[in-house]
Amino acid sequence: MSTKAISYVFYGIKLNYEDHIEFIRDYYENDLEIPNIIIDGMNGEYIVIGNILWNCDVYLKTSFSEINLNDLQNLEDVYKNNFKLKFPKYSEMVNQDFKIICFIHFS
């Protein structure tokens, strides 16, 4: 089995994997349809949720993306409101300010 690496730039929240085990179990067992979520299933270190601003698979050509910083607050508000409406049981997960998060995810 080969490992795949994808680079991401998110505008969202990085959560501790261990603090949200019930959510992770519910996500996988009930096929929750959560947009833009990355769960570190290999090492169990993090969950990242929010808006994907950019991503690049190592097998694809790098693409460029322009991000209007004035749009970030609206992206945050819309994502949080939708998440809270769809998953009220887990609404506390999005009670943090969004940040720009850059990382490489291996799967």
pLDDT tens, position by position, 38-81 = 888 778 889 999 998 888 765 555 666 778 889 999 999 999 99
Cα–Cα distance for residue pair 27/19, rounded to 1 Å: 14
Residue 21 CB coordination number (10 Å)? 10
Q: Which residues contact 13 (CB under 8 A, 6 or more apart)?
A: 48, 49, 50, 93, 94, 96, 98, 99
pLDDT tens, position by position, 79-89 = 999 999 988 99
- The answer to pTM > 0.85 is no
**What number is the average pLDDT over the span 2-8?**
79
